[in-house]
Amino acid sequence: MHPPIVDHLISTIFISIWFAVANSHVIYKYHPEHERLSWKSLALLFVSPSVLTLISYQFGFGTFHQITGWTAEEHLISILSQISITLEILVLSLPIFLYRKVIKSSNYWLALVLCLEFSCADSMSTILSVDLPTKLLAFTVLQLIVYVDYKGCFSYIMASDNSINRKVIAGYMVALKVVLSEMLSASMIFTVRQSQFTFRMLWIDFIALIVAAFFSAFFKMGISSARESDIKLDYMNKFLHAQENIIQTFAEIMEAKSGETGKHVRRVAEYSQLLAKKLGQDTENAAYIRVASMMHDVGKLMIPLEILEKQGSLDEKEFEIMKTHTTYGDQLLSHSDGTVMNIARDIAYEHHEKWDGSGYPRGLHGDQISLTAQIVAVADVYDALTSKRAYKDAWPPETAKAEILNQTGKHFSPAVVDAFCSCYNDIEIIRKAYPD
C-alpha cells in the first residue's frame, strides 16, 4: 500500500527543507565566498531529489493508471514501481545539474553523490517507518547518523579532485538507491508495511539495514582507497615535477647549444602531451610523454658545434653526422632506467623515422616506430616549421598545418595527423602561449 498523497507531500516538504538547510550549510562551509545564500537555498528546496521523485511518482502512477485502466493494487504497484525507479534515477539528473550550478562545482559525480545520499535516506526512512511521524523521525535520525559518521568523508569528497574515485563512490550510491527502491516496492506488494508493528516488517527492516550497512562499508572503503591513491598521486606528481625541472633545465642548455633558441622544447612537450591524450593515452602516460619528449634531441650534445651552428643548409657529409644525434640519444639514455627514461629513449632514437620507411637512423616504417616517437615527430616538425631558424623564416601556421596534412602516410602516422587536426585549436593556443 502506498502512503496517502497528503502524507507523501508532507514528508517531501520535510525532506526538501532538510536538503536545502543541509546543503546551504555545505555551500557556506566549503564556498564561503557566497554571501547571499537565500535564493540558492530556495532553489535547492524546489530541486530536491524528493520533490522530483514525488512528481515523477505521481505522474508515472496517474499516466499508467489512465493508459491501462488497471485498478488491481498489486499489478499497479509491481509494474509501476519498476517504471518509478527508472524515472527517479532519470529525474535525478535535474537536481544534479542545478546543484552543480549552485555549488559551482564542475564535477557531476560530486553532485550525484550529494543528491543520492538524500534520495537513499528518503527510501530508507520509508522502509523503516509505519506512518508519517515514524518516517520523519527515521529520516532525521538517519541524517544525523550520516552527518556524524560521514563528516570526514564528506570533507574529503568536497575538497578532492579525484574524479576517478568519485565515479566508484557514485556507483555504490546508485546501486544502494536501486536496491532500496526495489525493497520499498517489494514491501508495498507484500503489504509488509502496515500501520502497526509486525514481524514481516521487522524482517524487511533488518534486511534493509544490512544492505545499507554493506553499502556504507563499500562507500567508506572507496573513500579510503581514494585517499590512499591521492597520497600516491601527490607523491608521484612531486617526483615527476622535480624530474621535469631537471630535464627541462638540461633540455634548455642543449637547446641553446644547438641554436634552437626560444621555447622549442616546451612547445614540443606541450603538443606531445595534447596529442597523446587525444590518441587515448591516460593522464599519467601523457604526462610521462610530455617530460620524455623534452629530451628528443639530447643526442645533439655529441654533434660538433660547427655543424650545429652552421648558417644555411648542411652538405651531405655534415647531414650524415647530424643524423647520428638519434643514435647518440639512444646511447646516452640507455644508462637510465624507469618509465620516463624508457619513453625518452624511444623518442630520441626514433623521432626522425618516417611512416613510409624513408626516415633515419633505422628506416623503420608504420607501427614499427613507437607511438611516442610518431607523436613527437609531428610535434617537432610543426614547431620547426612555425619557428624562425638560421636557415629559414617562420612559416604561417596554416601553411605548416597544410604541410603536416600533406605528409600523412608519408612522413607521419595518419592517426597522429588526425589527432593533430582534431585538436589544432589547442595546438595553436599552446604555440601562442610559449612564443620565442
Site of interaction with Fe ion (CB under 5 A): 297
Q: How far is the CB of 300 from Fe ion (least distance, A)?
A: 7
Q: How far is the CB of 384 from Fe ion (least distance, A)?
A: 9
Nearer to Fe ion, 205 or 260 (CB): 260
What is the signed CA dihedral for 173, 175, 178, 180, rounded to 10 degrees?
Answer: -70
SS (H, E, C) 261-292: CCCHHHHHHHHHHHHHHHCCCCHHHHHHHHHH
| Cβ proximity of 314 and 400 under 8 Å | no
Nearer to Fe ion, 122 or 297 (CB): 297
d(Cα 129, Cα 393) in Å, to the nearest integer? 79
Annotate 173-223 with DSSP letters as a single string: HHHHHHHHHHHHHHHHHTT---SS--HHHHHHHHHHHHHHHHHHHHHHHHH
CA angle in degrees (0–180, nearest 5) for 378-359-387: 40
Residues 6+ apart with CB under 8 A from 219: 153, 169, 172, 173
Q: How far is the CB of 311 from Fe ion (least distance, A)?
A: 19
Which residue type is seen at 127? I
3-state secondary structure of 389: strand
Nearer to Fe ion, 297 or 330 (CB): 297
Nearer to Fe ion, 223 or 251 (CB): 251
| Cβ proximity of 353 and 369 under 8 Å | yes
Please name the residue that has the C-alpha cell 527510501. Answer: 123
d(Cα 304, Cα 383) in Å, to the nearest integer? 24
Q: How far is the CB of 325 from Fe ion (least distance, A)?
A: 6
Number of residues that this document lists for the chain: 436
Nearer to Fe ion, 2 or 352 (CB): 352
Q: How far is the CB of 246 from Fe ion (least distance, A)?
A: 21
| Cβ proximity of 326 and 349 under 8 Å | yes
Nearer to Fe ion, 270 or 297 (CB): 297
Nearer to Fe ion, 205 or 297 (CB): 297
User: How far, CA to CA in Å, does 91 sit from each of 54, 98, 229, 303?
Assistant: 10, 12, 33, 66
d(Cα 154, Cα 140) in Å, to the nearest integer? 18
What are the beta bridge partners of residue 396? none
Nearer to Fe ion, 40 or 300 (CB): 300
Nearer to Fe ion, 201 or 377 (CB): 377
d(Cα 390, Cα 394) in Å, to the nearest integer? 10
Q: How far is the CB of 349 from Fe ion (least distance, A)?
A: 10
Cα-Cα end-to-end distance for the chain: 74
Nearer to Fe ion, 244 or 297 (CB): 297
Q: How far is the CB of 350 from Fe ion (least distance, A)?
A: 10
Q: How far is the CB of 380 from Fe ion (least distance, A)?
A: 6
3-state secondary structure of 133: helix
Q: How far is the CB of 435 from Fe ion (least distance, A)?
A: 22
Report which residue's Cβ sits closest to Fe ion.
297
Nearer to Fe ion, 297 or 353 (CB): 297
Q: How far is the CB of 385 from Fe ion (least distance, A)?
A: 14
Q: How far is the CB of 423 from Fe ion (least distance, A)?
A: 23
| Cβ proximity of 103 and 111 under 8 Å | yes
